[in-house]
């Protein structure tokens, strides 16, 4: 009986640890186009740290094509 309780407790703790690794981020960038302020928003991306880093790198790469672009990311 003690082994069953230990297994159950370990399973609950493990699932809580891995569930907390998922975070979400939303990015956008703004830039000037023909003298007007323009913004481009990206959909929310959820995942682990590596997935969010790849998402931010993609937004930064897209923003680098527009001179003077300012990237903003919010985490939830």
Averaged confidence pLDDT in the chain: 83
Rounded CA-CA distance 5/12 in Å is 11
Buried b (16+ CB within 10 A) or exposed e, 43-64: eebeeeeeebeebbeebeeebe
Q: Is the pLDDT of residue 47 over 80?
A: yes
Q: Which pTM value belongs to this model? A: 0.67
Average pLDDT over residues 2-11: 61
Confidence category of residue 76, pLDDT binned at 50, 70, 90: confident
Within 13 Å and on the Cβ side, how many CA atoms surround 71?
18
- Residue 18 is predicted with a pLDDT of 60
Q: Answer yes or no: are the C-beta atoms of 22 and 61 closer than 8 Å.
A: no
Q: What are phi and psi of 40, to 5 degrees?
A: -125, 125
Rounded CA-CA distance 73/55 in Å is 10
- Residue 73 is predicted with a pLDDT of 96
């Amino acid at each position: 009986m003690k082994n069953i309780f230990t297994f159950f407790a370990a399973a609950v703790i493990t699932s809580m640890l891995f569930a907390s690794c998922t975070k979400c981020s939303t990015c956008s960038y703004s830039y000037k186009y023909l003298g007007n302020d323009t913004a481009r928003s990206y959909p929310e991306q959820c995942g682990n740290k590596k997935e969010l880093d790849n998402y931010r790198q993609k937004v930064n790469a897209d923003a680098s094509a527009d001179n003077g672009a300012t990237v903003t990311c919010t985490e939830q």
